[in-house]
Structure 1
């Protein structure tokens, strides 16, 4: 695939550079914020060689490329920079659209825009923690040695300093100076404040404002709200500060106003929201532990298809892992990903043309590794019945895994290569049950897809049969 040619064709069919506000990418998608959605020629884009499909979700036009998306993004950015209408290139999409979006679309766009750039850092830290568990499990490392201690705090770093990472990313999203935003995140986990919280000694700000003693490490909701409000405070400060002293007065005003707001009002409010979310998750897990794995096992293909998977899951997962040390959503995504692979393999087995067979097997393999979009858009959704098989297999396997209380112990993408994230030192059966649920999901998806193919003459013809 010629990425330069593909990027040119994409640009032409979204209305040219003058119709692009911003662009970024995740693991498989080129995500573009456009000014006028009416100028997008979706059918032409979907038909391009190298494009698996597209979806308009959360205020973004998302083009599914697959694992080559990074190269396409670089070529696309180069095309934008080469035009007379320069477009700001950032890792995070800013909400600067001319058209008003719905509140729901704005929320999805915001959460996705904040967390997508953080995934490499979160995943790296999570895999370090997983590696440490493996080394300890097989007695390949001394738990009292220096290496163990270094890897332990290295793996914990991204999660402990999550408010800082989120603050920086949210600042880019809300158009606040990211370093000022990071400073606000650092306030929440400053050692002095952490000590005050640990000592449980109530303190007042300015003598009359009670500071809520909350542990903000690893939290995400409080700092998102803080940065959102800070962006408005900063704009007002910019508007009213005299030009001669704006350079130092503007950040001072923003920071000084936000200190009491963050520690007395917004931070505690966000903390309570997080606690409420945690209580809901705990209640579900206490009374019907199978619900979340069932829902996400069956419906994650739809979440991925609509581009909502990051916005819906990341805050939930981080909150759950921070509070409980595990989450129950991960196993749902694992069995759903494996089901995508099983269905695609069934299509490949029956397909008569080399092109379809090759696409089905290759995309099925990547789905088993956790990258499902090629199988989802290139095979299973395209032929419809395999997509149904994926949802059924994922739901049944998720239900079984939920009944068996399979937990994901740290955050990371789910696939065969990341199965160690299901290793629970206190319960060796956790990983075994995760593997069993995955095997069941693959077999069910494969059998169901095969059955659907044999019963559907039209589908047989689509796959090259007579």
Structure 2
């Protein structure tokens, strides 16, 4: 039976202190993310007990309520109740809160997650098309030199090539600045004439001069951090220009001044520094992997469900994209998710098999299908593993074991799709497909079977039928 998200949202708002206690609200793929004025007014137990709420996380300065795949319906109902979302005082920049070191860290995390979450469908869609093209090429259905192959590959690649533009559009909402100016400045970094100058020299060398100031040659396609940082800075530039331009000239002088100030800052300072930050993060990942080897993948596999619980897993999105753009594959975070994701499916199947609670059985079966087929693990995490506690241990152990095996096998993803039974093809190595397919199949089966058995061995305290 379909849930009434109007009633669910109303109850949520009431139990977090009412409309007057909400400063702003956003959402990602599965969570409502509230910024509240007074956390003391939240009735945590009542929120968790609300039908349709899978769990609650208070992290990063946000009160996050896990709804699942219908989060957008709940979000739209919440927006009807008051001055929230992009229309809120916080979003408009009219209300400021005192900054602390913790607040700065939370803001950075919130900016990354808030910007990247809306882009995930486009990234997944592009990734799946690129995987399809790769498989059709390997099967001999399409020739790599054929026009159909090239057009399909370009369709899949578009979301990655123009990623800076997408990031700028998403970040402009987060930082409350003009979206189209943000897109135009990000577009400058991808303009054919500008790219020709940038790519005419070795990366890091001076490619051109602007008013005598050197412009470093860098590649901006497939990048996240430069556009994200520049859009944040643009929000301050826009507000400053707005204050100094006369009202009668705002419609033409204000945008011109913004362009003349923001664009040079983007290509001279922010862009190259952003690329350096991204390369530094990737270098750190390579360093850890080189030092720990397959253990790095195993440790990440064990930690991944905990990162999803806290909502910090989206922080790795820029790193994964940066690594894939540089090397064509990512071999630490993505392979670790095979065991982590599928183990939650196995855990849920075990709970469905053993429980005497019919409602819990239905929840577990739905959560298992979500994790195994779609790679969406929040229903399994909050509806089963965290709720029953001990099954989470089975998932963490399985994530470590299967992560180590994925690391030993050298599995690496050619795209960024949440691993599941259906999306394991992203780990196929075109140079050695047979061996990689065998490893993928073996690890996938082991993830489900091992987590299933461990859940039955460790056991869990079943819920009474009335719950």
TM-score, length-normalised on structure 2?
0.91
C-alpha contact 1:381 1:387 (8 A) present in aligned 2: yes
2:429 equivalent to 1:427? no
CA displacement 1:360-412 (0-9 Å, x = unmatched): 22212212121111111111111111101110110111011111111111111
The worse-fitting range, judged by mean Cα deviation, of 11-20 and 383-392 is 11-20
Question: How far did residue 137 of structure 1 move?
Answer: 2.1
Does the Cα contact within 8 Å between 1:298 and 1:393 map onto a contact in 2?
yes
Could you report, residue by residue, the CA deviation over 1:232-264 in whole angstroms, capped at 9, with x for unpaired residues? 111111111111112222222221112221122
Matched ranges for 1:190-209 at <5 A = 190-200=191-201, 202-209=206-213
CA distance in 1: counterparts of 2:123 and 2:40, whole angstroms: 36
Output the aligned Cα RMSD: 2.1
Following superposition, the deviation at residue 71 of structure 1 comes to 2.7
Shift of 1:17: 2.5
Q: Which residue of structure 1 lines up, in the alignment, with residue 323 of structure 2?
A: 320
Distance 1:90 1:156, change over 3 A: farther
Instruction: Please give the alpha-carbon distance, in whole angstroms, between the structure 1 residues aligned to 2:399 and 2:273.
Output: 36
SS in 2 for 1:73: helix
Q: Which stretch shifts more, 266-275 or 111-120?
A: 266-275
Report the equivalent of 2:391. 386
Whether 2:24 is the aligned partner of 1:22: answer yes
Q: Does 1:365 align with 2:369?
A: yes
Change (3 A) 1:288 1:106: same
Measured against aligned partners, the alpha-carbon deviations of 1:330-367 in whole angstroms (never above 9, x if no partner) come to 11112101111111211222111212222222212212
C-alpha distance in 2 between matches for 1:403 and 1:134: 24
Q: 1:57 aligns with which of 56, 59, 66?
A: 59
Q: CA deviation at 1:27?
A: 2.5
Number of matched residues? Answer: 452
Residue 144 (structure 2) pairs with residue 138 (structure 1): no
Unaligned runs of 5+ in 1: 454-458
- Give the match for residue 311 of structure 2: 307
Deviations 1:62-118 (A, max 9, x none): 1112223233233333x32xxxx4334579x94856544622211111101110111
Q: Tell me: CA distance 1:134–1:99, structure 2 relative to 1, closer, same or farther (3 Å).
A: same
Which residue of structure 1 lines up, in the alignment, with residue 43 of structure 2?
Answer: 41
Secondary structure of 2:423's aligned partner: helix
TM-score by length of 1: 0.91
Per the alignment, residue 402 of structure 2 pairs with: 397
SS in 2 for 1:176: coil
Where does 1:241-280 land on structure 2 (aligned, <5 Å)? 241-280=245-284
2:360 aligns with 356
Give the whole-Å Cα distance in 1 for the aligned partners of 2:118 and 2:309.
Answer: 20
| Gap regions ≥5 residues in structure 2 | none
1:447 aligns with 2:448: no
Larger displacement relative to structure 2 (149-158 or 289-298): 289-298
Other-structure match for 1:86: 83
Q: Aligned partners of 2:446, 2:4: CA distance in 1, in Å?
A: 39
Sort the Cα spacing of 1:205 and 1:136 in 2 relative to 1 into closer, same or farther, 3 A.
same
How far apart, in 2, do the equivalents of 1:142 and 1:230 lie? 45
Structure 2 counterparts to residues 142-291 of structure 1, below 5 A: 142-200=143-201, 202-291=206-295
Q: Indicate how the Cα distance of structure 1 residues 284 and 210 shifts in structure 2: closer, same or farther if over 3 A, else same.
A: same
Please tell me whether the aligned partners of residues 31 and 67 of structure 2 are also in contact (alpha carbons under 8 angstroms).
yes
Q: CA deviation at 1:131?
A: 1.1
